[in-house]
Amino acid sequence: MSDTTPLAAQGAGIGRSGRVALWARGMRRALVPVLTVVAVLVAFWYLACIPMNAGAAVQQAARADIAVSPESAAERRQMGGLALALRNPGVAVAGAFGQERARLPAPHQVAAELWSGVAGQSVTSNRSLVYHAWVTLSATLLGFVFGTGLGIALAVGIVHSRVMDMSVMPWAIVSQTVPIIAIAPMIIVVLYSVGIQGIVPKAIISAYLSFFPVVVGMVKGLRSPDAMQLDLLSTYGASARQVFFKLRLPASMPYLFASLKIGIAASLVGAIVGELPTGASAGLGARLLAGSYYGQTEQIWAALLAATVLAAACVGALGAVERVLLGRMGMRT
């Protein structure tokens, strides 16, 4: 069936409902290009492995007494990876995809490391990526809840009080031009010195990163009802409280969810960065740091991929809640 067949055409609905057909059509429109782009990226990754790992591959070959093009090691060290790969194509390609501690591990190596980290260890072991992901995720979620709560409270204040609007809003904007990450190490050390440690300092950094999108989105959302709607409620004699709960709050939901999705991604970044400066022993950030200290590139890439999956899962979960909630409220799904 071609893309242009109308859903109502004779026989178009046979075997599947219109909803499924729509979904399939949408998937075909989006899926093929997306898969193509992803496939090109992976192919590029494999290709890039050859020059990136050429130095190490050629050196190994030289140690194993295989003839390589510039014979002296000093000369080889001077050359770039691409030039080396071009002069020793066979050796470079043969050694590109299976090295330990490769400069750029091949995708299948990363996938293997990820698989062994997720499925190969018991969940409580500190070599398990599930365990590290949970440590990071718990801080992310706690910080996200703090940040969202603070953001919504500030937004309600800003919408209802002109003083707060004029005095707080500019500083909320300035606060985001400050690279807050810079404060992360200090927050952790200072809180540690007063006896607070573990999840809370990371959550505070997460909260700081996630509150701003929520403030901006919520202010926009709470102000989104137009004058006609507000007038209608005032003709009903509605109090400010009723206007808030029956008009402003429901009207702000689409804006809130758009902000929440940005907020949770920011909050995950905050939790990961929060693990970097103190040399935390658990969490995806700690895995990144340990990997970079010991040159375990596969471990870094696996932690990175795990963080990716985590971010996608969080955003996806929020999207699902959004669809259900807005659907129930009779808004566009």
Partner 1 sequence: MLLVSLALVLWAGAWWMNARLATGPARDSAAVRAAVPLIFGATLLALWELGVRGLDVPMVILPAPSVIAATFAGRLPTLWEDFVQTFLKGALSGYVIGCAAAVAVAIVADRFAFLRRGLLPVGNFMAALPIVGTAPILVMWFGFDWQSKAAVVVVMVFFPMLVNTVAGLADTGSMQRDLMRTYGAGYLQTLVKLRLPAAMPFIFNGLKICTTLALIGAIVAEFFGSPIRGVGFRISTSVGQLALDMVWAEIAVAAIAGTLFYGAIAALEKRVTFWHPSHRS
Q: Which residues bind partner 1 (CB under 8 A)?
A: 29-30, 32-38, 41, 52, 103-104, 162-163, 165-171, 174, 176-183, 185-186, 189-190, 193-194, 261-262, 265, 268-269, 272-273, 276-277, 284-285, 288-289, 291-292, 295, 297, 300-301, 303-304, 307-308, 311-312, 315
CB 186 within 8 A of CB 205: no
The backbone region for 252, taken as left when phi is positive above 0, alpha when psi lies in -120 to 50, beta otherwise, is alpha
The values of phi and psi at residue 225, to 5°, are -60, 135
CA separation for the pair 227, 237 (Å, rounded):
15
Q: Which is nearer to partner 1, 146 or 212 (CB)?
A: 212
Helix (H, G, I), strand (E, B) or coil at 134: helix
CB of 79 to partner 1, least distance (A): 16
Tokens of 88: 């020793």
Q: Which is nearer to partner 1, 124 or 177 (CB)?
A: 177
Q: Which is nearer to partner 1, 157 or 250 (CB)?
A: 157
Q: Which is nearer to partner 1, 178 or 331 (CB)?
A: 178
CA separation for the pair 144, 271 (Å, rounded):
10
CB 214 within 8 A of CB 259: yes
CA separation for the pair 181, 179 (Å, rounded):
5
CB of 228 to partner 1, least distance (A): 21
CB of 137 to partner 1, least distance (A): 12
Tokens of 132: 């590290």
Residue 280: Cβ within 10 Å count? 22
CB of 35 to partner 1, least distance (A): 8
CB of 303 to partner 1, least distance (A): 7
Q: Which is nearer to partner 1, 199 or 271 (CB)?
A: 271
Q: Which is nearer to partner 1, 131 or 238 (CB)?
A: 131
Which position has the token pair 């809003």?
169
Question: Nearest to residue 205, comparing CAs of 132, 281, 147?
Answer: 147
Q: Which is nearer to partner 1, 180 or 251 (CB)?
A: 180
Tokens of 67: 């003839």
CB of 170 to partner 1, least distance (A): 4
Classify residue 6 by its DSSP letter: -
CB of 61 to partner 1, least distance (A): 22
